[in-house]
Amino acid sequence: MARGAVFLDRDGIINWRIADGYVRNALEFHFLPDFFHFLLGVRQLGLLAIVVTNQQGVAKGLMTAEDVERVHEHMQQELVRHVGFGVDDIFVCSDSAESQSRRRKPEPGMLLEALQKWHLDPRNCWMVGDTITDILAGQRAGIRTILISHENVPIADFHAPNLEAALTIIAAHQTVPAPYHNLFHRNAG
């Protein structure tokens, strides 16, 4: 099977989103409780975990690119501490929404860069996000999409109320190693 990946939005998927604000430092970064289990599941499915995140707070002068990098270093260190490994790669677009950047979601630039860098097969890739811009970026990159939301937005390929449900969807559409399949589904029934 060709190499696949799960592309992850950051704020609202990996960590709590700050209402009308930006995560500017490690003190403001707090993992969502189900992300550790989700990341373990992604790894057990043999998929890469790649973050693709818009961080226009840099363009607005609210934080620096170095601040974002420090937040990601903290995130990676905490992931290693909790699950034994971090995400495989992180792509950041710090351009403003007005810039019309091809890298900024909903445009697919970051995803296309990752597909090329990691030699990924789009048919074995997923975009998991909590906004329409995440879903549009995934579709424009030619990959399947899962919207984490309680709203049913027709453009997403799949909808899930949380990461556990998203992992079930991904597992159902991948070649699942038997030990993982049994481990994961013991909680589903």
pTM of the predicted protein model = 0.90
Instruction: Assess whether 11 carries a catalytic annotation.
Output: yes
The class that CATH gives domain 5-185 is alpha beta
Given the residues 9, 67, 95, 134, the one annotated as active site: 9
| Cβ contacts of 161 within 8 Å, gap of 6 or more | 148, 149, 150
Q: At what angle do helices 35-44 and 163-172 cross, to 10 degrees?
A: 10
Name the residue ranges covered by the structural domains of the chain.
5-185
- 92 near 49, Cβ under 8 Å? no
> What digits encode the pLDDT tens for the residues 49-97?
999 999 999 999 999 999 999 999 999 999 999 999 999 999 999 999 9
> What digits encode the pLDDT tens for the residues 146-166?
999 987 777 899 999 999 999
- 63 near 22, Cβ under 8 Å? yes
Instruction: Say what percent of the chain tops pLDDT 70.
Output: 92
Q: CA 126, CA 10: separation in Å to the nearest integer?
A: 14
Q: In what order do the strands lie in the sheet with 5-8?
A: 89-93, 48-54, 5-8, 125-129, 144-148, 158-160
Q: CA 146, CA 10: separation in Å to the nearest integer?
A: 14
